[in-house]
Amino acid sequence: MKDNKNVNRRDAIKLGLGATILGAAGMSQAHEKVMKTPFPLEQVFIPIAGSDQEFPVRRIYCIGRNYAAHAREMGSDPTREPPFFFQKPTDAIQFVAPNKLVDHPYPSLTKNYHYEVELVAALNKGGKNIPVDKALDLVYGYALGLDMTRRDLQRFMGDQKKPWEIGKSFDHSAPIGPIFLVGKTGHFTQGNIELSVNGVVKQKADLSQMIWSVAEQISKLSEANELFPGDIIYSGTPENVGPVVKGDVIRCQINGLPDLSIKIV
Ligand code: MN
């Protein structure tokens, strides 16, 4: 391994070397030759339950208004709308170990910070134009997640017909538990999904009440974008979303997965 200090500036520029040569410490010589970047970049991972492997996250998709009662509370008619999706950056991932109370930072810029409990599907295969009856073959596992939302900013931007990304796609806005292999849990097409704040139940529904099933979501998404291993999909939240403030404890439950709890700090 060549020490970065021994690479003079001219050579470094010519070779495209920089932090990478340090970041590549411990990697094979062959890999080092291939990887020439001006700085190292960390991959985001989610732990896989019962495994020493971790799931590398490629893209985070989220479906909007996927439970009828929630669509109505957001001011739309669920019966006439095709599904729509948005993304969060991988930086949004905050891993929450099961059965522990994990601190979650109240974000900047908002005065109306909302919870949305959701089932998350994690893909280990990809493709385009996946038919619904083949879509679940792409699913590697499932996790319990939260699509945390700066509701005031989401609404403010929406009212002005501007992208509401700032309301949805920010640091730590995607708390998530470990991924459970589908071979162990089966597919989640029904079962209780629930969220409580400080012990009071706020959201409670059944996964079967999704307007677009996970299979249909995968199929629809694959018409818009080629899907890839590492993509994860937040499958929407039931009605009765609402605000939290510092000190509140959010507890999420889905039948068949361990509970996930965060404390807003
Ligand atoms: Mn959501």
Each residue of 196-251: pLDDT tens digit?
999 999 999 999 999 999 999 999 999 999 999 999 999 999 999 999 999 999 99
pLDDT band at 9 (very low <50, low <70, confident <90, very high): very low
Based on the domain organization, do 6 and 136 belong to the same domain?
no
Give how far Cα 81 sits from Cα of 64, 130, 149, 218, Å.
Answer: 11, 21, 22, 17
DSSP string, 125-166: --BSS--HHHHGGGEEEEEEEE--EEHHHHHHHHHTT---HH
- Ligand 1: distance of its center to the CA of 35 in Å? 37
- Ligand 1: distance of its center to the CA of 116 in Å? 6
Retrieve residue 156's tokens.
């403010």
pLDDT band at 39 (very low <50, low <70, confident <90, very high): very high
Whole-number pLDDT of residue 32: 53
Based on the domain organization, do 59 and 35 belong to the same domain?
no
- Ligand 1: distance of its center to the CA of 260 in Å? 16
- Ligand 1: distance of its center to the CA of 118 in Å? 7
Based on the domain organization, do 205 and 140 belong to the same domain?
yes
**Mean pLDDT, range 244-264, rounded to an integer:** 98
CA atoms within 13 A on the CB side of 39: 2
Retrieve residue 224's tokens.
């818009």
Based on the domain organization, do 19 and 51 belong to the same domain?
no
Closest among 39, 62, 32, 218 to 145, alpha carbons compared: 62
Based on the domain organization, do 82 and 105 belong to the same domain?
yes
- Ligand 1: distance of its center to the CA of 1 in Å? 46
Based on the domain organization, do 130 and 158 belong to the same domain?
yes
Whether residue 182 contacts residue 214, with contact meaning beta carbons closer than 8 Å, is answered with: no
- Ligand 1: distance of its center to the CA of 114 in Å? 10
Q: CA-CA distance, 195 to 250, in Å (whole number)?
A: 7
Between 151 and 71, the more confident residue is 151
Between 2 and 243, the more confident residue is 243
Whole-number pLDDT of residue 35: 78
Q: In whole numbers, what is the pLDDT of the chain averaged over residues?
A: 89
Whether residue 96 contacts residue 176, with contact meaning beta carbons closer than 8 Å, is answered with: yes
- Ligand 1: distance of its center to the CA of 6 in Å? 50
